[in-house]
Structure 1
Amino acid sequence: MFKNRRVFAYILSEIVPSFLLGVFIFICVLLMFQALRLTEFLLIHGIKWTTMVRIMGYMSISFLPLLLPMSLLFAVLLTYNRFSQDSEIIAFKSSGVNPWSIAMPAIAFSLFVTLVSSQTSFYLAPWGNRQFEVLINRLGNTKAAASIKEGTFSEGFFDLVVYSNKVNSQTGVLNDLFIYDEKNPNAPLTIVAAEGQIIPDTTHPGHSVLLRLFNGQIHRKGESHTVINFNTYDVLLNDPIRLEEKKKSPSSLNLEELLTLRKSNEDITPEMRKDYDIEYHKRSALSAACFVFGILGLAFGIVTNRRSGKSSGFILSVGFIILYWVVYLSFESLVRSNQIPTGIGLWLPNILFTLFGLYHLKKVWD
């Protein structure tokens, strides 16, 4: 590497722009799969464009652990495939550049991306995912009427079952309401009302939602059946005094939180501990996949009999990405069904693809 610094810098200058291009392309592709969800936020919830940008930003950050290995494979394959197509690999060898010096830029950059990916997987991506969860939760409370569908029973609406014949998601007005509340299983409530309106707290958006009902009845079933008629009745859906922060999902936990929960013996069921173990090894394996994909890109990029280096490099990268995820998800399903240990199952795809890449790389150099 030090004897051929110009070669190293030249190859690296080709890999880095392709890598950044790959990150941009794969972010756009993944956001396209979320287009329907984003459209719902924009049209039904009526959120501002600045909030939409924040949502897309948090989603992109949470996608990074998946994007970095794919982008690295795309960059290395595209770069070395073009070198092979333009006979630059042959020119390097003819000039006395040994194979190790040719491969070193890809290996060094793969190690660097692996380090960045590990920090991203355990800190940046969980932060982005958590910010996304909190923002969506607040939007759901602020635009609560948008989660109620006309003519259907909406379950999970602040732990209530709600039915409304007509819903205006912009004004929050509901007509012909039926509400079933079983928060107290010994005395469940059934509320019917001619009209209702969802009134969010504009001073603290997302922290308090008031449902004001007009002209209805409250039926309480306990030891005796009680009926209460009302002209106006307020239901506080989210009390800011009692509001507790929503518990973090496994994908929103950073490294220290994951390690603590994996070792904790308090209020952790075997299923939850299994989820934490899978999340820890999954992030570690995805970070290491950057180096694995770098080896694969190097092994299959150095060829001399392709018509189009760019097109074949892109096709190969997509093919390897699909194949890797098929293998990975297959092993993950075996892990979740307790057929193989967590650590072994989630790391086996990396081991298999590394051996495959090294074997093919040896054949190319020979």
Structure 2
Amino acid sequence: MFKLIHRQIIKELFHLFFLSLGCLLGIILLGRMLQLRDLLLAQNVGGGELMTLFIYLVPFFLLLLMPIASMLAVFLTFLRMSTDRELVALKANGVSLYQLLPAPLIFAILCTLGSLFVSYHGISWGMTHFKGTLLELVRSQTRLALQAGIFNQDFPGLTFYAHKVDEKTGDMEFVFVQDKRQKNITVNIVADKASVVTEVKQGALLISFKNGRIYRREGAKLDILQFGSYVIKLSLAQLFGSDYSPGERKASELSVAELRKLRADPNAFDDVDTKPSKVEVELAKRFALPAGCFVLSLFAMPIACIFQGLRQQWGLLISLGLFLVYYTMFSFGVSFGEAGTLSPQIGLWVPNVLFLLLFLVILQMAARERTIRFRPRLPRLRLRRAKS
């Protein structure tokens, strides 16, 4: 009987977990979609490419969303069981609340392991592929924009012309480029061959020229330089028309192994420039949030049991409010940790410890059937409003 009960509870827990996680991800990615659409407005990017970019962004948000999704799943499951009097029926058959604890415990452990996997590998994998795909999209769109025999001015400050363009490789022959990115200086480049290359680490688009000449005019002065190889570097932030640069990596985009390496040697990566305090905070966050999945999942069980006669929409608001309290405390820990006023190992773990202690206290209350009833109070509130 216990195996059947736990199996059904775990099944409902995961059903609500994936439903909650999908809804939360959809809301966040919808906002990111609008932001990315503005970012890629200058590039002719279709819906398929945007969906690919969103998939790579999912691990970045999972670390934050998994704790609230696991909490919602446990809260709504046991709230439904309490509202439908299933808990009363189980207690009448000798099943205590402690005997129901293994199902949410197993669920919490599995969610924690999944969150740890995302923390260790998922975020770094997603952001690396996101930036690589973004740069490849820009390169392919640039290659399509460069057509033979047509003057192209899509690049800011550059006028591009190629007599021949290979549609497959994007290699060009007999190339002319006029560069007016510097004030009062005009640079004309004439080359036999040219190609477009993207650099993921630099976050730049490189136009490589071979065998040509540079005519540099500044006022009445003209300089002529012959070269065998010459490269123009275009920042993708300029191409996007925003401050975003895919070449810059933040601490929140690194894996746990990279963060530990960066903590040991602040100059370990050339493309990462961040404060040591942010590295410490990010390392603490990678373990505190997965632990939050475990703590909040267990905490939601007795909370749902002590609220009898509560509708699910109100239960949803209460659970979101409790998570807001948790996340506010967590945000204060992040802020104090980055400012250096409080150790991240303390500030980011205080919410977990506090909610775990509350779980133990409220679990004893729920096991002793000390509940908070809502139905008798609603009519009184309505009568008071009617009198007033």
Shorter-chain TM-score above 0.5: yes
> Counterpart of 1:219?
218
**Residue 185 of structure 2 corresponds to which residue in structure 1?**
191
1:343 lines up with 2:345 in the alignment: yes
Q: Distance in 2 between matches of 1:12 and 1:200?
A: 60
Aligned length: 314
How do 1:201-350 and structure 2 match up within 5 A? 201=195, 208-210=205-207, 218-219=217-218, 226-227=221-222, 236-238=231-233, 246=247, 248-264=249-265, 272-308=275-311, 310-350=312-352
Cα distance, 1:179 vs structure 2: 1.6
C-alpha displacement at 1:104, in angstroms? 1.9
Q: How far off its partner does 1:340 sit?
A: 0.9
Distance 1:144 1:357, change over 3 A: farther
Residues 235, 34 of structure 1: CA spacing in aligned structure 2 closer, same or farther, 3 A cutoff?
Answer: farther
Gaps of 5+ in 2: 144-154, 159-177, 210-214, 235-245, 369-388
| 2:280 aligned partner, one-letter code | D
Gap change, CA 1:82 and 1:163, over 3 Å in 2 = same
1:353–1:94 distance in 2 versus 1, CA, 3 Å: same
**Shift in Å at residue 98 of structure 1?**
1.8
> How far off is 1:248 after superposition?
4.3
Assess if the C-alpha contact under 8 Å between 1:77 and 1:297 holds in 2: yes
Q: Confirm or deny: 8 A CA contact 1:42 1:52 kept in the other structure.
A: no
Residue identity matched to 1:263: A
Q: Distance in 1 between matches of 2:288 and 2:353?
A: 10
Q: Residues 64-90 of structure 1, C-alpha deviation per residue, up to 9 Å, x if partnerless?
A: 111211110111111001001101111
Partner amino acid, structure 1, of 2:341:
Q
Deviates more, 1:8-17 or 1:43-52: 43-52
**Structure 1 gaps, min length 5:** 146-157, 165-175, 181-188, 240-244
Structure 1 counterpart SS, 2:37 = helix
2:380 — aligned with what? none
Rg (Cα) greater in structure? 2
User: Once structures 1 and 2 are overlaid, which stretch shifts more, 288-297 or 259-268?
Assistant: 259-268
Letter in 1 for 2:57: M
Structure-2 residue corresponding to 1:80: 78
Q: Which amino acid aligns with 2:232?
A: L
1:103 deviates by: 2.2
Deviation at 1:300, TM superposition (A): 1.5
Between 259-268 and 50-59, report the one with greater CA deviation.
Answer: 259-268
Q: Distance in 1 between matches of 2:251 and 2:28?
A: 21
SS at match of 1:236: strand
The SS at the match of 1:34 is helix
CA–CA distance in 1 between the matches of 2:116 and 2:257?
13
Kept after mapping to 1: 8 A contact 2:295/2:355: yes
Summarize deviations over 1:3-22 as a string: whole Å, max 9, x none.
Answer: 72121112112111111111
The amino acid that maps onto 1:237 is: I
Measure the CA separation in 1 of the matches of 2:28 and 2:194.
32
Distance 1:315 1:192 in 2: 62
Give, in whole Å, the separation in 1 of the partners of 2:333 and 2:36.
32
The equivalent of 1:8 in structure 2 is 6
Return the letter of the residue paired with 1:254.
S
> For 1:327 and 1:140, how far apart are their aligned partners in 2?
41
How far, CA to CA, are the matches of 2:256 and 2:33 in structure 1? 31
Q: Which amino acid aligns with 1:99?
A: L
Three-state SS of the structure 1 residue aligned to 2:45 is coil
SS in 1 for 2:218: strand
Q: Note the C-alpha offset of 1:139.
A: 4.0
How far residue 307 of structure 1 moved from its aligned partner, in angstroms, is 4.0
**Distance of 2:322 and 2:268 partners within structure 1:** 41
Correspondence for 2:43: 45
Superposed CA offset, 1:157-191 (max 9, x none): x9xxx669xxxxxxxxxxx98523xxxxxxxx753
Structure 1 residues 92 and 226: CA distance shift in structure 2, 3 A = farther
- 8 A Cα contact 2:108 2:297, kept in partner: yes
Q: Deviations over 1:170-219 (max 9, x none)?
A: xxxxxx98523xxxxxxxx753589xxxx9956x566854499xxx9643
Partner Cα separation in structure 1 for residue 206 and residue 268 of structure 2 = 31
TM-score, reference length from structure 2: 0.69
Deviations 1:321-347 (A, max 9, x none): 322222211121111111111211111
SS in 1 for 2:306: coil
Report the CA distance shift for 1:251/1:265 in structure 2 as closer, same or farther (over 3 A).
closer
Structure 2 distance, partners of 1:143, 1:104, is 54
**Equivalent of 2:62, from 54, 61, 64?**
64
Distance 2:72 2:348 in 1: 23
- Residue by residue over 1:220-267, the C-alpha shift from the partner in whole angstroms, topping out at 9 and shown as x without a partner, is 9xxxx955599xxx983349xxxxx94643223222222222223756
Amino acid paired to 2:259: L
| SS of residue in 2 equivalent to 1:316 | helix
CA distance in 1 between counterparts of 2:231 and 2:111 reads 49
